[in-house]
């Protein structure tokens, strides 16, 4: 399968040649496939947002290539094709909604593409459904919660029929419910619509939901793997500026105490299952063979 985004040897420096130059990306390789849910984590300043911007040609490589749907992002004539394929949702929901109703907001992108109004109406309906925002069509965006605003921002991207959506810390300003709503919407788009999702986040619990996790540090990808590989096998997450997820911390503490029962466990549900099996074994394993 061809990747939606292929990145090879990507380097990018801000203010190159000036005394303040910063090498934000120093050789990044990455492939993002259709329907893949990818998370990118790493300390502040590690290059995550610059990488996100490189994915839809807000920044173009100094060295290396970013290929979106077969098109190099350095091809200036194809800028709008690239931006249509890879949509972005940013951190602050209030900066992304421009219209007076949810419907107008979602229609804004397709209108700019000159899409006929009948098709726009269909796309708006579809985008509302996919983000669980049916019923809010006529609402003014400022009346919505943070999580709802971000879902409208996602809906606006969906209306462009993208193949990939990049969420750059899009849950950072939300309350726990809002984060859950946005996460669920993104997850569903990957699973049911085959849209690739790139989730940049500083919440490890969110990163753990991904198919594949990338850790960035100082402009490089320093680790990549499944969530259990990343959170159980990478040495020194703390040294990379990352928190250890609680469930992982608990699993490791149990192991240190001689209970190696939860290696690789990523959810509280699974952890609860393992612990209850230990505390209350099945009838045949019970003390004295009886319950
Ligand atoms: P992250 O999203 O992981 O916090 P960024 O990609 O925003 O990282 O930043 C990577 C590096 O590039 C940091 O050192 C940051 O200070 C620098 N940087 C980011 N944006 C700019 C900019 N517009 N001009 C100059 N330097 C920048
Ligand atoms: Mg950032």
Q: What is the DSSP letter of 196?
A: E
Residue 280 lies in a domain: no
pLDDT of residue 291: 42
Any domain includes 220: yes
What's the domain count of the chain? 1
CB 113 within 8 A of CB 104: no
275 part of a folded domain: no
How many Cα neighbours within 13 Å face the side chain of 71? Answer: 18
- Taking Cα atoms as reference points, which of 73, 9, 3 lies closest to residue 32? 3
- The Å distance, Cα 93 to ligand 2 centre, comes to 15
Pairwise CA distance, residues 198 & 167, whole Å? 6
What's 169's domain CATH number?
Answer: 3.40.50.300
Residue 64 region, left (φ>0) first, then alpha (ψ -120 to 50), else beta? Answer: left
- Check: CB of residue 199 under 8 Å from CB of residue 210: yes
Helix (H) or strand (E) holding 216: strand 212-217
The CB density around residue 119, as the number of other CB atoms within 10 Å, is: 10
Assign 283 a pLDDT band (cuts: 50, 70, 90): low
Give residue-wise pLDDT tens across range 171-209. 999 999 999 999 999 999 999 999 999 999 999 999 999
Average pLDDT of 203-225?
97
Residue nearest (by alpha carbon) to ligand 1 atom 21: 14
pLDDT tens track for 128-151? 999 999 999 999 999 999 999 999
CA-proximal residue: ligand 1, atom 12 (nearest)? 24
- Is residue 171 in some structural domain? yes
In the predicted structure, residue 124 carries a pLDDT above the cut 90: yes
Q: Report yes or no on 262 lying in a domain.
A: no
Per-residue pLDDT at 290 exceeds 90: no
> Is 63 strand, coil or helix?
strand
Residue 126: which domain range? 5-244
In the predicted model, what is the mean pLDDT of residues 155-169? 97
45 alpha carbon – ligand 1 mean position (Å): 5
The pLDDT tens digits for 255-274 are 999 999 999 999 999 999 99
Residue 1: predicted pLDDT: 87
Number of Cβ within a 10 Å radius of residue 16: 10
With beta carbons less than 8 A apart as the criterion, state whether 250 and 271 touch: yes
- β-sheet with 22-32: strand ranges across: 22-32, 5-14, 63-68, 71-72
Closest to 29 (Cα-Cα) out of 220, 232, 261, 249: 220
pLDDT of residue 287: 52
Tell me, yes or no, whether 77 lies in a domain.
yes
Residues with a CB atom less than 6 Å from ligand 1: 14-15, 22, 24, 42, 44-50
Strands 220-225, 212-217: pairing kind: antiparallel
**Per-residue confidence at 289, pLDDT binned at 50, 70, 90?**
very low
Q: Distance, CA 47 to ligand 2 centroid (Å)?
A: 7
> Which residue among 48, 50, 51 has the greatest number of ligand 1 atoms within 8 angstroms of its CB, and so is best to mutate?
50
In a domain, 257, yes or no: no
Considering Cα of 268, then 40, then 8, then 24, what sign does the dihedral take?
negative
Other beta carbons within 10 Å of 115:
17
According to DSSP, residue 4 is labeled: S
Ligand 1 atom closest to residue 25's alpha carbon, by position in its atom list: 10
pLDDT tens, 49-77? 999 999 999 999 999 999 999 999 999 99
Residue 269 lies in a domain: no
Determine the average pLDDT of the residues in 82-89: 96
Edge-to-edge, what's the strand order for the sheet holding 37-42? 86-89, 164-168, 196-200, 37-42, 212-217, 220-225
H-helix or E-strand containing 85? helix 79-85
Kindly state the percentage of the chain with pLDDT values over 70.
97
């Amino acid at each position: 399968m061809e990747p939606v985004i292929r990145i090879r040897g990507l380097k990018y420096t801000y203010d190159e040649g000036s005394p303040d130059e910063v090498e934000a990306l120093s050789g990044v390789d990455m492939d993002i496939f259709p329907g893949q849910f990818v998370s990118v984590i790493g300390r502040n300043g590690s290059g995550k947002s610059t990488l996100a911007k490189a994915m839809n040609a807000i920044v173009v490589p100094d060295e290396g290539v970013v290929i979106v749907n077969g098109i190099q992002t350095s091809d200036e004539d194809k800028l709008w094709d690239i931006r249509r394929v890879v949509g972005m949702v940013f951190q602050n929901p209030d900066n992304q909604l421009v219209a007076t109703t949810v419907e107008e907001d979602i229609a804004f992108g397709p209108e700019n593409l000159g899409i006929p109004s009948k098709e726009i109406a269909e796309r708006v309906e579809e985008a509302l459904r996919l983000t669980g925002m049916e019923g809010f069509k006529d609402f003014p965006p400022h009346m919505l919660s943070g999580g709802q605003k971000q879902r409208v921002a996602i809906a606006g991207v969906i209306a462009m029929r993208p193949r990939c959506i990049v969420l750059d810390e899009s849950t950072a300003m939300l309350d726990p419910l809002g984060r859950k709503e946005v996460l669920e919407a993104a997850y569903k788009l990957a699973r049911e619509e085959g849209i690739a999702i790139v989730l940049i986040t500083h919440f490890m619990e969110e990163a753990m939901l991904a198919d594949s996790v990338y850790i960035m540090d100082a402009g490089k990808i320093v680790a990549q793997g499944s969530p259990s590989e990343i959170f159980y096998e990478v040495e020194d997450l703390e040294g990379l500026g990352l928190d250890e997820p609680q469930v992982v911390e608990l699993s490791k503490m149990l192991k240190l105490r001689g209970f190696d029962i939860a290696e690789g466990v990523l959810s509280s549900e699974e952890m609860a299952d393992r612990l209850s099996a230990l505390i209350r074994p099945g009838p045949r394993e019970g003390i004295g063979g009886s319950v």
